[in-house]
């Protein structure tokens, strides 16, 4: 997966963003979104920034956190981002 990809998980899209850091590492985070009757519901910055040595590792860490956030929303829809 790269920063231009979306991953589909339980009716949600996970949208990663990655950028190189000044110290030759990578920083990544994810937004999560889903389509509903009113359009697309987007949770920007659903994950914190993950710093890793490679772009792939940073995106993987951010996407793992996004999966946990989606599971939290499904488990308790009243709590949007735990």
What pLDDT, in 10s, does the model give residues 27-44? Answer: 999 999 998 888 888 877
Handedness of CA 31, 32, 35, 41 (dihedral sign): negative
Cα torsion at 30, 6, 21, 72 (round to 10°)? 20
Does residue 69 sit in helix, strand or coil? helix
- What is the pTM assigned to this prediction? 0.83
Q: Given this model, what pLDDT does residue 19 score? A: 96
Q: How far apart are CA 16 and CA 28, in angstroms?
A: 7
């Amino acid at each position: 997966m790269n920063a231009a990809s979306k991953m589909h998980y339980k009716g949600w899209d996970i949208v990663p963003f990655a950028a190189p850091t000044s110290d030759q590492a990578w920083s990544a985070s994810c937004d999560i979104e889903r389509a509903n009757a009113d359009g697309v519901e987007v949770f920007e910055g659903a994950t914190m920034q993950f710093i890793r040595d490679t772009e792939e590792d940073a995106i993987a860490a951010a996407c793992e956190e996004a999966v946990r956030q989606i599971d939290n929303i499904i488990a308790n829809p009243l709590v949007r981002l735990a």
